[in-house]
Amino acid sequence: MSFMTTRQFPTTRMRRMRRDDFSRRLMRESTLTAADLIWPVFVLEGENRREAVPSMPGVERLSLDLLIEEAREAHELGIPALALFPVIDPSLKSELAEEAFNANGLVQRSVRALKEALPELGIITDVALDPYTSHGQDGIIDDQGYVQNDRTVETLLKQALSHAEAGADVVAPSDMMDGRIGEIRRVLEQEQLINTRIMAYSAKYASRYYGPFRDAVGSAANLGRADKSTYQMDPANGDEALHEVALDLAEGADMVMIKPGMPYLDVVRRVKDELRVPTFAYQVSGEYAMHMAAFENGWLDADSVILESLVCFKRAGADGVLTYFAKRAARLLAAQ
């Protein structure tokens, strides 16, 4: 960094390039477009149904017919993919999460319908059991309530395969079980589903920012006071995230996810710098809820802050961002 000692004021005036809009644009290091956005959506059973998520103002659970209409608009805005999360009827939840791999389940039917209606829109499915378990954990528990790793992976394999067979472009294991990426990749190859991509939630932290999401999918009541710290990562750890990401890549992941987003941008930067692989981050429900509370109280300007928050992900090294602001951000970008 020797140039820092040789370039001095007034030879160097840092404000000179900030003087006009054209020069600010010319030297801009990070650019946000609609192609950087993935839209997370919640699907529920029925027709012509919308249910507001109280802890996520502006976000709705949608029946499939309405979701297809909204997805068509997202596609027209240039958003390349949506991430599908189901709202499962309580009567279908069980200790062993059998509904997760039902070939005619809500997710599987939704994938088929979305791909038929919008074949060019990427469909990403969540591979995790918490929407389907009666206890709200992401796996199969033993008599003491501990999530069993290998037993859970057996069910995740069936779930991922059912999604791929339904036509999902990307399966996204978000469960944080050890070894599940390698097993899913093996099964996909075995079944000749060689182009089904895997987006591994490799560094998913045991965060309190997920509360509104659990409200949205209906798992909060099932989970109760329990937590997920025996399988999701400790928020204090950074080096461990690199280990997790490297393992998932070695097992066959095509891209990796860091979750939550803004409080963990240092992890995004480290992963991108050290491993140089397709890296994504999730601006999670708690981040969305905090922003919306500030917007609704007039404490922050919504449009500018939404775009600023998302460009920060790009600056940190993310190739794309899962965000509930995706459609709003795409409209704002189109208007620029």
* CA distances in angstroms from 274 to 8, 31, 246, 267, 269, listed in the order given: 32, 22, 10, 10, 8
Name the token pair of 170.
């990307």
- Active-site residue flag, 204: yes
Q: What is the 3-state secondary structure (H, E, C) of the chain?
A: CCHHHHCCCCCCCHHHHHCCHHHHHHCCCCCCCHHHEEEEEEEECCCCCEEECCCCCCCEEEEHHHHHHHHHHHHHCCCCEEEEEECCCHHHCECCCHHHHCCCCHHHHHHHHHHHHCCCCEEEEEECCCCCECCCCCCEECCCCCEEHHHHHHHHHHHHHHHHHHCCCEEEECCCCCCHHHHHHHHHHHCCCCCCEEEEEEEEECCHHHHHHHHHHCCHHHHCCCCCCCCCECCCCCHHHHHHHHHHHHHCCCEEEEECCHHHHHHHHHHHHHHCCCEEEEECHHHHHHHHHHHHCCCCCHHHHHHHHHHHHHHHCCCEEEECCHHHHHHHHHHC
Which of 204, 228, 272, 327 is labelled catalytic? 204
Q: Which of 93, 115, 228, 259 is catalytic?
A: 259
Residue 327 annotated in active site: no
DSSP 83: E
Amino acid letter, residue 19: R
Q: Active-site positions?
A: 204, 259
